[in-house]
Structure 1
């Protein structure tokens, strides 16, 4: 009798399937290696942002560019994926919480209530116009909405805050941050060039910068030529928009719930608990830090730098998900929509400043 290959027969009613290796969780070393990887790229991003030219773009965009280029040349580092994903998700939320220290609620309420009305109009105008233009251009709707929020509120921080609520892809979040950094930098430099030729007082120019530019860094860059008073009012106008990020997030969460309940397969919207942390840190920074607890300007600057570094590390994880092959076809139309919105927003806000 010839030799036969022995095999285990399946029981009745079961299909014969090849044995699968049990999935193993990544080791702590690989997990820590992924976090360390994002931190190293963030360091390179900060270093690149010191180079003339790149200093106008900022460390977030620089780190994303490095991460994107790494992905294209070396591929995604799969072995340390768990640590990278931890950075892109947890670091992101932690950075948004710390970002609350930048918002002095007391100053905004007592000195900037008149500006908040204009800030509300700017946010609504930027989001609605960007989304409408995106539909006309048949652009990626998720990316367009992120860019509308970033344009209307506070750039990369706003995109990072709303992306979990909107369930945006990591790729869309990274692309949105990169576009915001690029366009915002171009606009802020243009403002500084136009400043000597505009018939605006320092205060009016500061208000115009604060209600129309994308990020706090962009407002600071553009507002500096207006002197200390112009810069102060510019930052105050911008902080009003940052304050409005909180109610906007809850509005978007309600909208997502309504939209998911009307579609097949009800989708659960995770409550953005990090926003509670953002609010608490804002209250702490506004009424306790510097009052009951003395703190130096150098210490606050250090906290601000640490916040930016943590957010930059998170952006590395997002940037690794970007494929340049898809970027050309995916980002062009949202970029056009956001660029048109930014131009119209600058013109309209010039006349209401």
Structure 2
């Protein structure tokens, strides 16, 4: 679905957005990860769950959780899998709630449709959430939501690398045996390659508007299926049992991120 959605993004518009989009994304991602992690630990969440939830809220939801998780060394794989599921559940629920909230409060924010697209792409967790919110207010809003959201997704690889180095360094300090461990493979969101390719094709090849429209509609169908699948993965019993700390942290950090993106959209876009 994300690959097909590339036909919707015009790279000439992306170039026009400039470096400011990447800079705003980098500040938002960094601040959200640090704040979510710090609050989660303050509220009593275990370290591994806190960093997974923080990356999910800061970057791109479930994809970020599953991308960062292999970089974390642990002796309890079963507990790690449980933390993955819990982190995915938290970010998916938060992203869905904030999608509805942002669409609802848009008339109160005094934002133009393109500015709202920046807010949606910069504050919502899943790509599907950003598409849903941005697409609710027209093409300009959707284009900006995609540009802003994908600027955050591009930060997945460097963040995973930093997290992996941080955890390996901590383990080396704790035990000399960790010197023999090989570094984990850096996760690469390969779907971004397909998205960029379809963006290039859609921008520079003379496809008919009807054909491009059909491909984009197919993308919406696939992304809708993906959101439904994410909903199936949510286990509220686990959230109520162990997820209170990270859920509370995610509420606060997501609200702060939304406020930050509203301010940034008004100043720079």
TM range (shorter): 0.7 to 0.9
Where structure 1 has 5 or more consecutive residues not aligned to the other structure, the ranges are 1-97
- In 2, distance between residues paired with 1:288 and 1:205? 27
Report the CA distance between 1:262 and its aligned residue. Answer: 2.0
Deviations 1:104-151 (A, max 9, x none): 795686133321110000000100001111121121221221111111
Deviations 1:168-190 (A, max 9, x none): 71211111111111111111111
Q: Which residue of structure 2 lines up, in the alignment, with residue 241 of structure 1?
A: 152
Q: Which residue of structure 1 lines up, in the alignment, with residue 249 of structure 2?
A: 337
Where structure 2 has 5 or more consecutive residues not aligned to the other structure, the ranges are 75-79
Matches within 5 A, 1:125-140: 125-140=31-46
Q: Which has the larger radius of gyration?
A: 1
More helix by share: 2
Give yes or no for the alignment of 1:180 onto 2:91. Answer: yes
Report the CA distance between 1:338 and its aligned residue. Answer: 1.0
Deviations 1:251-301 (A, max 9, x none): 2233233233222131433213x5174564455444468867979544566
- Of the three residues 176, 189, 197, the one matched with 2:108 is 197
Report the CA distance between 1:349 and its aligned residue. Answer: 2.1
Change in Cα spacing, 1:304 to 1:275, as seen in structure 2 (3 Å) is farther
Give yes or no for the alignment of 1:115 onto 2:28. Answer: no
The answer on whether the counterparts of 2:2 and 2:219 sit within 8 Å (CA) in structure 1 is: no
- Of the three residues 180, 184, 188, the one matched with 1:275 is 188
Give yes or no for the alignment of 1:229 onto 2:143. Answer: no
The answer on whether the counterparts of 2:71 and 2:160 sit within 8 Å (CA) in structure 1 is: yes
Aligned CA RMSD, in angstroms, stands at: 3.5
The answer on whether the counterparts of 1:99 and 1:307 sit within 8 Å (CA) in structure 2 is: yes
- In 1, distance between residues paired with 2:206 and 2:83? 40
Counterpart of 2:185 in 1: which secondary structure? coil
Which moved further from structure 2: 301-310 or 116-125?
301-310
Q: Structure 2 length as normaliser, TM-score?
A: 0.77
Which moved further from structure 2: 174-183 or 99-108?
99-108
Between 1 and 2, higher relative CO (CA 8 Å, sep ≥ 6) is seen in 2
